[in-house]
Amino acid sequence: MALLPILEFPDPRLRTKAVPVDPARVADPAFQRLLDDMFETMYAAPGIGLAASQVDVHQRFMVIDVTEDKSRPLVFINPEITARAGEQVYQEGCLSVPGIFADVTRANEITVRALDRTGAPFELHVDGLLAVCIQHEMDHLEGRLFVDYLSPLKREMVRKKLAKQRRHAAA
């Protein structure tokens, strides 16, 4: 397995709209290895979700594990939200926007349909943090980031803060 480089805001590649995965490709060893590498990269970060877009693969899939003991790794291939209800505000972060956290309002409950890593279809009805995480990762597949929900002024502050962090890291 290998750690993958994660694209960081404002990298324009994060704005790419991902294309559907060909279900016939899911069993390919290269695709399965990519899923393993994405889990390893996410756990090492550490993070609770990683969309393919963030590792510069612009196809519709993502990995998620919101547990503290890495006990529920979930793969969503070609995910679709079929129902949403309620509202919740959660202070989100993102591996592509390191060190930045901000409140985002999203649906509290969702029903999501996807293929798992064997290519089998499944449906989940979830709420709370897992619902937030699924919506956040699915935004990545549309080329959308959580900072897009902030005001333009706040987003510019985030961009400057990240540029400063990078200068310090390079120094």
Q: Is residue 42 close enough to count as binding Ni ion by CB under 5 A?
A: no
The only residue of 34, 94, 130, 132 in contact with Ni ion, by rule CB under 5 A: 94
Q: Is residue 63 close enough to count as binding Ni ion by CB under 5 A?
A: no
DSSP β-bridge partners for residue 123 = 113
On the CB side of 151, CA atoms within 13 Å amount to: 3
The string of DSSP letters for 93-142 reads --TTSTT--EEEEE-SEEEEEEE-TTS-EEEEEEEHHHHHHHHHHHHHHT
Least Å distance, CB 24 to Ni ion, is: 28
Q: Is residue 132 close enough to count as binding Ni ion by CB under 5 A?
A: no
Give CA torsion, residues 55, 57, 58, 59, to 10 deg: -120
DSSP β-bridge partners for residue 113 = 80, 123
Q: Is residue 52 close enough to count as binding Ni ion by CB under 5 A?
A: no
80 φ/ψ angles, rounded to the nearest 5 degrees: -140, 135
| Residue 137 designated active-site | yes
Q: Which residue is nearest to Ni ion (CB)?
A: 94
Distance CA 18, CA 141 (A): 5
Whichever of 7 and 94 has its CB closer to Ni ion, that residue is 94
Whichever of 94 and 158 has its CB closer to Ni ion, that residue is 94
Least Å distance, CB 140 to Ni ion, is: 6
Active-site pick, 8, 92, 137, 142:
137
Which region among 20-28, 89-97, 110-118, 157-165 touches Ni ion (by CB under 5 A)? Answer: 89-97
**Contact residues for Ni ion, defined by CB under 5 A:** 94
Q: Which residues are catalytic?
A: 137
